[in-house]
Structure 1
């Protein structure tokens, strides 16, 4: 889902054939793009893979099953992390959804609660459009409202949100879901053509990152 199209998904053509091409040719063929600027690795000796996502994005919701299976097979030298995006908007609660993710993480409720947020937004049609709706949701999944609200408003969560936004700005995705690889490249279904292509391209870029 493109940043400028939070309701409509972007569909751009791609091809599996690019996977056998040299890097420059593969990039020209549309399998991946360069990051806005190079991002240092978060852990020495580990290849970073980042999924930029938004809970309200239907493409992110539909990508979850395939992505989760792919994550299970990642080698030990890959460090995977999810990063909820936060774009400026007067209409979409990116800030609240980002804080929701890191609050649930801080409370030790992941990954089960992650799936419940997606279900709430896409199956139950709950937009989680403001703090009260988010707090009500937390209660609905068995969390204490006051404990959740305190963590949601905490300095620790604010710090994580700021770091996530800085990472997003460094990579520069213009839509979600997008996979960032080794601080240098990004791919997605809209870039590579399909979800399967995107995961295959990510595998290729991980392999190249390992080779230096």
Structure 2
């Protein structure tokens, strides 16, 4: 019994080393972004997730990436970036940044995902989005002020520009430090996307030393 326990602990100890040793290749597992995109997180390694609230794949990715974010080191900054390909998606991006401005992002992020993927609400009007916020404790006045603000509209434009510059082709996709794009198609699975992200974070960390 003791021998089995020692073996189990040894395997657990070696697991991180095995993960670190895993090598991913540009063009096969991830893509290089050229020219690189300017980051907004200073000296930290920036990891961006491009998503859309109406995307079923993003909805299934949410628990995985939520758990993954909890283990990020202090020198890594995660940034959510809503994709904006049409007018309804622009409204959903405004909802995301409105929640961030009001300090209710953590509460409203899952609410917005559930509304579109579980409750089958299309959220194609300002009125529908406002109703969702007010139903979750945000005052109508606060919502209107943030939703129609210059700051929120500016962030939506920046998100659109970021996605175009990264040449994303779907959601969810990830970008590491403005240099690398990770897609499910290249990585092979959503779980592998996070492994590739870990690999690239370490690559950028080593390059900055």
- RMSD over aligned Cα, in angstroms? 1.7
Alpha-carbon distance in structure 2 between the residues aligned to 1:41 and 1:143: 31
| Cα distance per residue 1:6-28 (max 9 Å; x no partner) | xxxxxxxxxxxxx834x6xx124
What secondary structure sits across from 2:26 in the alignment? helix
Structure 2 match to 1:108: 103
Alpha-carbon distance in structure 2 between the residues aligned to 1:190 and 1:61: 17
Residues 165-174 or 202-211, more deviating: 165-174
Q: Which has the larger radius of gyration?
A: 2
Question: Are 2:22 and 1:20 equivalent residues in the alignment?
Answer: yes
Structure 1 match to 2:32: 34
Query: In structure 2, which of residues 180, 186, 191 is the aligned counterpart of residue 196 of structure 1?
Result: 191
Structure 2 match to 1:4: none
Kept after mapping to 2: 8 A contact 1:35/1:184: yes
What secondary structure sits across from 1:31 in the alignment? coil
Alpha-carbon distance in structure 2 between the residues aligned to 1:189 and 1:74: 21
Structure 2 match to 1:48: 46
Structure 1 match to 2:121: 126
Structure 2 match to 1:172: 167
Number of aligned residue pairs: give it. Answer: 188
Alpha-carbon distance in structure 2 between the residues aligned to 1:106 and 1:45: 24
Bigger helix share? 2
Kept after mapping to 2: 8 A contact 1:50/1:83: yes
Structure 2 match to 1:57: 55
Alpha-carbon distance in structure 2 between the residues aligned to 1:104 and 1:78: 22
- Deviation of residue 39 (structure 1)? 1.4
- Deviation of residue 199 (structure 1)? 0.5
Alpha-carbon distance in structure 2 between the residues aligned to 1:43 and 1:154: 23
Structure 1 match to 2:179: 184
| Cα distance per residue 1:139-169 (max 9 Å; x no partner) | 2212222321221111111111122222222
Unaligned runs of 5+ residues in structure 2 are: 1-20
What secondary structure sits across from 2:79 in the alignment? strand
Question: Are 2:137 and 1:155 equivalent residues in the alignment?
Answer: no
TM-score by length of 1: 0.83
What secondary structure sits across from 2:122 in the alignment? coil
| Cα distance per residue 1:115-157 (max 9 Å; x no partner) | 1110111111111011111111112212222321221111111
